[in-house]
Amino acid sequence: MNCIMGIDVGSVSVKVVLLDQKSRVLKAFYERSSGRPLEILMKLFRKIPNSYNILGVGITGSARTFAGKVIGADLVKNEITAHAAALLKFYPRARTVIEIGGQDSKIIIFRNKIPVDFAMNTVCAAGTGSFLDQQAGRLCIPIEDFGRLALQSKKALKVGGRCTVFSESDMIQKQQAGHDIKDIINGLCNNLVKNYLNNVAKGKDMEKPFVLLGGVAANVGIVRAFEKQLGSKMIIPNHYKVMGAIGMALLVSHHLPKKTRFRGLDFRKYRLKREAFQCKGCINQCDIIKIDVCGEVSHIGSKCGKWG
């Protein structure tokens, strides 16, 4: 079967989606990367039946440059553009899109089916999925239960959400003072949303309908906090976790290459060699990664462009 592949290699998870030529989702895979994104991507590739004929591949996410070079992606794009493409296809009426990923959070404002404004978190990472993950780990609570526990809380405690370090010490202090863990989690969800609205969404014309994307959308505590603070219902799409990957597949399908550069689903055939070194060309001493895939050599990491 002919299909188009979209990949999102993020900081916390790896997503792979296969669309047919009518842009219907055939397969969608989501797996936590656990710090080994390439290995997890290989694992997901193994789940794809060989009967699928891949016509083109698009990749996004924080590891897109590296992973894109390794697998031979036809299109490499940033996460904002990828999410915008998916939203326009599946939720063309959306006016405000909130996307909270592993290491960054974004807002995209749509008017008349075109993105007119966007923002990303800048110097603060307190409102991202990684932080929630970290706190869940510290409290020995599975991240999947985080939202459910927040909903059971009767009152939300004030937990600093401005900075991860202060948030954590605030939470520890509240635990030591004997507060219920559910109230602390509820407080964290509320303050995380407040931080997002005060920083990422600062000055943006947020209008209904609101769409929430990213792994954090699975957290019902966060969803409730958004609904409470925005005074409106949040739309959570069916494929909220993999919208970036869907967007990439859609973008590739708009400009389908005559022949895909994709090297195939079998990683063993890639003959991948990696080498890290420090460029001594100038005082910047950039850390360069040399990638050799099937004899095709490329470099990532130079500031001046010396290494391509």
Partner 1 sequence: MKIMLAYNNDLTVFLSTIFRAIGFKIDYLGRPTQKTIELATKYSPEAWCFDTKLMLGQAIEGAKRGNDILTMPGAWGGKNENCLLGYLCKGVMEKRIEKAVGRKIKLWYFNINPIEMIYSGYFAAYKNIALLRKYSKARFFRTKAIKAFVLGAGKMKMAAKLKEKILDSADVAEKEKLFSVYDNFIYDMIYNADTKEDAKKAFEEAAAGISNLRKKKLGKKLVIGIIGDYEHTLLSTFPVLDIEKFLLSQDVFVKQPLSFVNYFSFLSPLYSSKNRKGLKELLPKSVAGSDAVTILCANYLKNRVDGLIHVGTFSCTPEEVADEVLLAHKEKFPPIVSLSYDAHTTEENMKVRIEAFVDMLLAHKRRK
Binding residues for partner 1, per CB under 8 A?
Answer: 62, 77-81, 84, 104, 112, 114-118, 120, 122-123, 203, 282-285, 303-305
Instruction: Work out how close the CB of 203 gets to partner 1 at its nearest, in angstroms, rounded to a whole number.
Output: 5
Q: Kindly tell me which of 273 and 303 has the beta carbon lying closer to partner 1.
A: 303
Q: Kindly tell me which of 81 and 232 has the beta carbon lying closer to partner 1.
A: 81
Sign of the Cα torsion 285, 289, 295, 297 reads: negative
d(CA 105, CA 95): 17
Instruction: Work out how close the CB of 254 gets to partner 1 at its nearest, in angstroms, rounded to a whole number.
Output: 11
Instruction: Work out how close the CB of 223 gets to partner 1 at its nearest, in angstroms, rounded to a whole number.
Output: 25
Instruction: Work out how close the CB of 278 gets to partner 1 at its nearest, in angstroms, rounded to a whole number.
Output: 11
Instruction: Work out how close the CB of 111 gets to partner 1 at its nearest, in angstroms, rounded to a whole number.
Output: 11
Q: Kindly tell me which of 23 and 78 has the beta carbon lying closer to partner 1.
A: 78
**Residue 131 contacts residue 167 (beta carbons within 8 Å):** yes
Residue type, 35: G
Residue pointed to by tokens 């976790």: 241
Q: Kindly tell me which of 53 and 122 has the beta carbon lying closer to partner 1.
A: 122
Q: Kindly tell me which of 80 and 223 has the beta carbon lying closer to partner 1.
A: 80
**Strand 96-100 relative to strand 210-213: parallel, antiparallel, unpaired?**
parallel
**Residue 70 contacts residue 296 (beta carbons within 8 Å):** no
Q: Is residue 20 packed enough to be buried (19+ CB in 10 Å), middle (13-18) or exposed (0-12)?
A: middle
DSSP helix, strand, coil percent of the chain (3-state; round to 5): 35, 25, 40
Nearest Cα to Cα of residue 4 among 44, 55, 68, 64? 55
